[in-house]
A and B are shown apart, each in its own frame.
Chain A
Amino acid sequence: MHIRGARAKLVGDIAIIGIGEVPTARLPERTPWDIVYETCVEAIRDSGLGKDEIQGVVSLVPVAQPTLANELAFGQLPERLGLKGVRDSAMVNAGGASSSNAVRLAEQWITSGVADSVLIQHVTVHSTIPVAEQIDAFARAGVDMQWEYPFGPTYNIIMGLIAARYMYETGATAEEMASVVTALRSWAEHDPHSLFYGRPPPSVEQVLGSEMINTPLHKRESNVLADGGAALVVVSAQRARELGVPAAFKLGESARYFSGTCVGRDFQQFNDGMRVTAQEAIARSGLSREDIDLWNVYIAYPLAHPLMAESLGVAPPGEGARYFAEGRMSFGGDIAWSTIGDAPGRGHTGSGVGAACLVETARQLMGRAGKRQVPDCRFAYQNSTGGSGFNNIVTIWGRGE
């Protein structure tokens, strides 16, 4: 008999003990610094630590917001918030993989003695960026300026290229692919931090009835840009246990680099990378795949989720899309999958979806996810992927019992 988590490390080196988050929205009157105050104060209060006990601050890069990025990179946050105990402040940028890298830097500071407790935060306000700047930033990010950009690709087109090949190889239908949107948005309906909170998910017919942006991607299979922010407080695992508060302990990690150019990204290498990072991270946690209670996948586009489900062994090869169509990954389904609905559920907040997913992983392990709570959630898979998919980082988290 398999004893659940019998060999698990259970604690690891660090733990998240506080979270703070604002609902995603398009609210131009909510400035970036307004959001920073809200999320950071909430996370620090939630951790039970005093403000002057925070010794390190790590910000995720706010994509397409160069002035804000400079303010955060060059240390304005600790001063503005009056965090008198801070010894150092830095920013990390690996696009969508910034969240996992922020955790790594916090872990390094904590285990090397630089800081006992670290505040991690992300903020993005898309709604005040002029449309031309937004389009420009997103068109150039993640593509090669010599061999790709002159032909006119976009993030949506890059996703279209991947999805077209996936559908060709697996025979997945447009209806099955559209059902991923319905599934992910079904979580958002019950998520108070989503701009779609309380709104029923679109049906498959509604998704397929929306404008074709680029084959095979419909408008409702693309993401709405939104404003948002999230913060986390990280301490050593030992400290978290001494404090005795609900916490999410980092148990294991694995990463793979794929390629900087989209066209250089071998599809098989990508699938293998997704599979092997999950296997390695789970093994390093002393767990087995059956121990994972929550697959908190972050890959931004709904059309990439079936491929992920197959790479992770959650669905058999070629059947990822069908699993979504059957409602198995939906709110109320039998597989706890992306319980904030990834970017389709939250709106796209640049590198912030990764931060929001991390907050959700902690929230689920702390048992505070409300109607979305995964019953007896002990272990969670969390990934992040940067740029247009240059890498994948997997972390496994547990509640430290």
Chain B
Amino acid sequence: MTAQPDLTKPLPEVQPWTEAFWEGTRHGRLLVQACNRCQARIFVPRKLCPECWSPDLGWIESAGRGTVFTFSTAYSMVEPRFTDELPYTIAYVNLAEGIRIMTRIVGCDPADVAIGMEVEVVWHPRGDLQLPYFRPIARDDP
């Protein structure tokens, strides 16, 4: 007998020092961890600054804009828990605040996603928090 696949959408495994980040997502705020001693912008968020080991870390609010560094649009062979979302586009986005994150690109035809494209955050509910997805920034009509 084949076991039923787990179709639950995975929640991020939140750590004590990242609770502020995920709390921010509930209010539509995208936070970037920053070191109060050496000013480093940090991703993935840590308990200690990876540059200077200071425990004095804080958060700055991102403007929620960035550019696509690279992307891949999936059409098949993903986990059963994500199959219902196919096709979907995973991307690395460079935020203006100086960090690069993994995310999804939504709100456009996957064929229109391009490296260098300017994108803005759009919130995607997951459990009782939200995941930062990104969509192309609409260009003003000429």
Task: Name A residues whose Cβ lies closer than 8 Å to a Cβ of B.
Answer: 130-132, 135-136, 139, 144-154, 156-157, 160-165, 168, 211-217, 222, 261-264
Give 5 pairs: A residue, B residue, CB < 8 Å, sorted on A. Answer: A150-B9, A152-B78, A154-B79, A156-B74, A217-B72
CB-defined contacts of A163 to chain B, threshold 8 Å: 72
Q: Are A146 and B12 in contact (CB under 8 A)?
A: yes
Q: Are B104 and A151 in contact (CB under 8 A)?
A: yes
Known A135-B80, A147-B12, A150-B11: A168·B70 in contact at CB below 8 Å: yes
CB-defined contacts of A154 to chain B, threshold 8 Å: 74, 77-79
Please tell me the number of chain B residues within 8 Å of chain A, measured between CB atoms.
Answer: 43
Q: Are A215 and B90 in contact (CB under 8 A)?
A: no
CB-defined contacts of B2 to chain A, threshold 8 Å: 130-132
Give min CB distance, B71 to chain A, whole Å. 6
Q: Are A152 and B12 in contact (CB under 8 A)?
A: no
Contact of A160 among B9, B18, B72, B76 (CB under 8 A): B72
The reply on B69 being an interface residue by CB < 8 A is yes
The 9 closest A-B pairs by CB, nearest first: A160-B72, A165-B70, A214-B74, A152-B82, A145-B13, A263-B102, A146-B12, A215-B73, A132-B5
Q: In the bound complex, what is the Cα–Cα distance between A260 and B58 (angstroms)?
A: 23
Contact of B71 among A161, A213, A222 (CB under 8 A): A161
Give min CB distance, B6 to chain A, whole Å. 8
- Between B6, B78, B85, B115, the greatest number of chain A beta carbons within 10 A of the residue's beta carbon is seen for B78
Give min CB distance, A116 to chain B, whole Å. 43
- Between A145, A156, A161, A262, the greatest number of chain B beta carbons within 10 A of the residue's beta carbon is seen for A161
Q: Are A146 and B82 in contact (CB under 8 A)?
A: no
Contact of B76 among A150, A152, A213, A216 (CB under 8 A): A213
| Beyond known contacts A147-B43, A151-B102, A154-B77: 5 more, CB 8 A cutoff | A131-B2, A135-B79, A156-B77, A157-B78, A214-B75
Q: Which of B98-112 contact A (CB under 8 A)?
A: 100-104, 110
CB-defined contacts of B71 to chain A, threshold 8 Å: 161, 164, 215
Q: Give the A-B contact count at a CB cut-off of 8 A.
A: 118
CB-defined contacts of B90 to chain A, threshold 8 Å: 151-153, 157, 160-161, 214
Q: Are B72 and A161 in contact (CB under 8 A)?
A: yes
The reply on B48 being an interface residue by CB < 8 A is no
Q: Are B85 and A152 in contact (CB under 8 A)?
A: yes
The reply on B137 being an interface residue by CB < 8 A is no
CB-defined contacts of A145 to chain B, threshold 8 Å: 10, 12-13
CB-defined contacts of A215 to chain B, threshold 8 Å: 71-73, 110
CB-defined contacts of B79 to chain A, threshold 8 Å: 135-136, 139, 152, 154
Q: Are A149 and B10 in contact (CB under 8 A)?
A: yes
Give min CB distance, A20 to chain B, whole Å. 33
Q: Are B80 and A164 in contact (CB under 8 A)?
A: no
Give min CB distance, B99 to chain A, whole Å. 9
Q: Are B77 and A263 in contact (CB under 8 A)?
A: no
Chain A residue at smallest Cβ distance from B91? A161
Q: In the bound complex, what is the Cα–Cα distance between A160 and B2 (angstroms)?
A: 30
**B44-62 interface code vs A (CB 8 A; 1 in, 0 out):** 1000000000000000000
CB-defined contacts of B82 to chain A, threshold 8 Å: 152
Chain A residue at smallest Cβ distance from B72? A160
Q: Are B44 and A144 in contact (CB under 8 A)?
A: yes
Q: In the bound complex, what is the Cα–Cα distance between A154 and B79 (angstroms)?
A: 8
Q: In the bound complex, what is the Cα–Cα distance between A327 and B132 (angstroms)?
A: 44
Q: Which of B102-135 contact A (CB under 8 A)?
A: 102-104, 110, 115, 126, 131
